Amino acid sequence: MERKREEEAIVLEYLQNGYPFDKRPSHMKTPIAQALGTANFSLLELVPRKEVALRMLERVYVGDDKRDKIHHVAGKVGYRKLTETAKSELKHVVKDVVLDQEERFVNFFNKAQPLNLRVHSLEMLPGVGKKHMREIIDARDDADFKNFEDIRTRVKSVGDPVDKLVSRIVSEIEGHEKLNLFVR
> How much is the pLDDT for 184?
85
The mean per-residue pLDDT over the stretch 140-152 comes to 96
If pLDDT is split at 50, 70 and 90, which confidence band does 33 have? very high
N-term to C-term CA, the chain: 11
> How much is the pLDDT for 26?
74
The mean per-residue pLDDT over the stretch 39-56 comes to 95
Q: Which residue has the higher pLDDT, 20 or 120?
A: 120
> How much is the pLDDT for 181?
95
Name the burial class of residue 117, with classes exposed (0-12), middle (13-18) and buried (19+) by CB atoms within 10 angstroms of its CB: exposed
Neighbours of 84 (CB within 10 A): 8
Q: Does 133 have pLDDT greater than 80?
A: yes
Over residues 4-16, the pLDDT tens digits come to 789 999 999 999 8
Q: Does 53 have pLDDT greater than 70?
A: yes
Over residues 57-90, the pLDDT tens digits come to 999 999 999 999 999 999 999 999 999 999 999 9
> How much is the pLDDT for 3?
53
For the chain, give the mean pLDDT: 93
Question: pTM for this one?
Answer: 0.91
Produce one character per residue of 31-66: b if its CB has 16 or more CB atoms within 10 Å, e if not.
Answer: bbbbbbbbbbbbbbbbebeeeeebebeeebebeeee
DSSP conformation class of 63: S
Percent of the chain having pLDDT more than 90?
85
With a CB cutoff of 8 Å and minimum separation 6, the contacts of 110 are 140, 144, 145
Query: Is residue 18 a contact partner of residue 55, using CB atoms and an 8 Å limit?
Result: no
Q: Does 1 have pLDDT greater than 70?
A: no
